[in-house]
Structure 1
């Protein structure tokens, strides 16, 4: 939403394409977490590429807007790594899995805000 709003505010044309239904099949509970981390790393690299391009062409407004995404992706990768580590350490028992479930149930979504 933030990126789309930024593009619209700067007279860029935005086209939203269809997203294919995922076809992933996982052999265990750890595989989707690892796939999630890999996806977060991919998103981080795409944001970094956008930032580098903005830097090269001295587009400071875009760099400022992307700062939020750079910070957010750092947090997302950390969360994904922590979840994988927690799972490897504690999910070997029903009690451990229950405790992990309780831990992650306490996370709440906070809608992104970004000063412009």
Structure 2
């Protein structure tokens, strides 16, 4: 059973996860227009991951006898100064998501909702991975600077990423 406050906060995070998917598709479009199809593909995989995160929230709310509440969001940013700018923006977004997940965990603990805590633990761990992944790419892009060959190599490297659905158990 979910309290009204926890249900509302879980629904807000579901919205944030779906927005993340939308944002990363927009960023993929930016990279596609910059003739960096490998990085665009990496971002599309990221968008798929975020969609599954939103679905996890949807399923948890429903399984906990809650009511899902789909909320709108504003259009994502679509243009960037550079690939580095796009990844710095993405890292900042992941920092925001981490903060929201942590606050959700705090609320679940405050309400002694053990099921929600167990569910959210997967996201706490996932956010460590998300931030590490974006941070590494930011550092690589900082090292690359204006080296076009380095950017093309990174494009080839990131093209190797494939979508692997997360385990169904949260």
Give the TM-score of the pair, scaled to structure 1: 0.91
- Greater relative contact order (Cα < 8 A, sep 6+): 2
Which ranges of structure 2 fall in alignment gaps of 5 or more residues? 1-54
**Distance in structure 2 (CA, Å) of the matches to 1:42 and 1:114:** 25
Cα distance change, pair 69–31 in 1 and its aligned pair in 2 (3 A): same
Question: Residues 3-22 of structure 1: matches in 2 within 5 Å?
Answer: 3-22=57-76
- The aligned counterpart of 1:35 is 89
Q: Give ranges in structure 1 of 5+ residues lacking alignment.
A: none
RMSD of the TM alignment (CA)?
A: 1.5
Give the total of aligned pairs: 116
CA radius of gyration, larger in: 1
Matched, 1:69 2:128: no
The change in CA–CA distance for 1:24 and 1:112 in structure 2 (over 3 A counts) is same
Are 1:89 and 2:143 an aligned pair? Answer: yes
Shift of 1:91: 4.7
Provide the C-alpha distance between the structure 1 equivalents of 2:155 and 2:77, rounded to a whole number of angstroms.
25
Q: Is the 8 A contact 1:91 1:100 kept in 2?
A: no
Residue 79 (structure 1) aligns with? 133
